[in-house]
Amino acid sequence: MSMLPLTTAWRPRGMGGGWGRLARVICATVMIAAVAGCSGSGLKASYKPVLLPVKLEVDRSGVQITGEQSLVTPLGVFSIGAAYSLDDPDDALTVVIRDAGPNPDDPRVVGFDRIYRVRSGTGEFTAIVNGTATIQIADRRVLIDVTRGDVRTIEFRNAQATVQQGAPGVADRWQAFWDDCFYSPMALSRWAYDDSTMGDYYGLGFVWFLLRLLAAIVLGVVDLILVVATFLAAIAYTFLGQTARNIVYGVEALALAFLLLLGWATSDV
């Protein structure tokens, strides 16, 4: 009885040739991207800082500006009731600090307003006195009376940011995931596809379009896998939090690593 040559011995069959290599490259790409997605930091602030980085400190000697002093411009000291005209820019607040007592610079003057322009940017703001009391700012102007001497500090808080300090809802967590995500749906194929050169360079532009189209199709496969992976992670993050999102990414990365190793082990040499 004759034996088969060693060269014809059985070998495991699986994905082979160029398609197998392409599949392995796609798996490796997705695995790397999935691992990169685990580095997110959770909720991402998309609104302005809660407090402006400047503070007005009031004492017997007057008003001191601490923090980003470039945000504040003193406009002058006026007697209470004096006629003056000030414009109201859309990106600044007009702050009037009123003292009905004598002016320390000129004791003969009783009752005066110190007026400041605070560059805040657009949006609604409230004034925070002594870190707790809130004074609503209307029409981008606010009057703060310091006559009794109980006002020590004045800060400015973005009212929109104040609203968002509460516990985020489902929609907020869903949006926060995508704001912080390493990937946006179909980003790779959208980046690759471009048909603007189809009629250029006497046909060469069309050849370039075909190459871009082929790249978009190949990357579209990666996109579909990433869309499924990030969608599952988004659901986990929205309902269970950041730890659940990281677990989903980890399981997906392990599954892809297993498929990658399995493909190499069963591929033709």
Q: Assign 77 to helix, strand or coil.
A: strand
DSSP string computed for 160-202: HHHHTTS---HHHHHHHHHHH-S--TTHHHHHH---TTTTSGG
Q: What angle do CA 120, 124, 129 make, to 5 degrees?
A: 75
23 and 83 fall within a common domain: no
Task: Kindly list the averaged pLDDT for each block of 10 residues, start to end, along the chain of length 269.
Answer: 43 48 54 46 42 82 84 86 77 87 71 87 81 76 83 80 56 82 84 84 86 91 90 90 89 87 74
Whether 40 contacts 180, CB under 8 Å: yes
Alpha-carbon span 227 to 30, nearest angstrom: 10
Whether pTM > 0.95 for this model: the answer is no
pLDDT of residue 247: 92
pLDDT of residue 235: 92
225 and 246 fall within a common domain: yes
For residue 82, what are the domain limits?
A: 54-163
Domain-located, residue 5: no
80 and 159 fall within a common domain: yes
Domain-located, residue 8: no
Beta strand residue intervals within the chain, DSSP E? 54-59, 62-67, 72-79, 92-103, 106-119, 125-129, 133-136, 141-145, 153-158
Domain-located, residue 261: yes
Query: pLDDT (tens digit, 9 = 90+) per residue, 222-258?
Result: 889 888 989 999 999 989 888 989 999 899 889 888 8
pLDDT of residue 88: 75
pLDDT of residue 217: 93
Q: Is 251 exposed, middle or buried (0-12, 13-18, 19+ CB in 10 A)?
A: middle
pLDDT of residue 268: 58
Query: pLDDT (tens digit, 9 = 90+) per residue, 85-123?
Result: 777 788 888 888 888 877 666 667 678 888 899 988 877
Domain-located, residue 7: no
Closest CA to 196 of 204, 205, 188: 205
Q: Assign 268 to helix, strand or coil.
A: coil
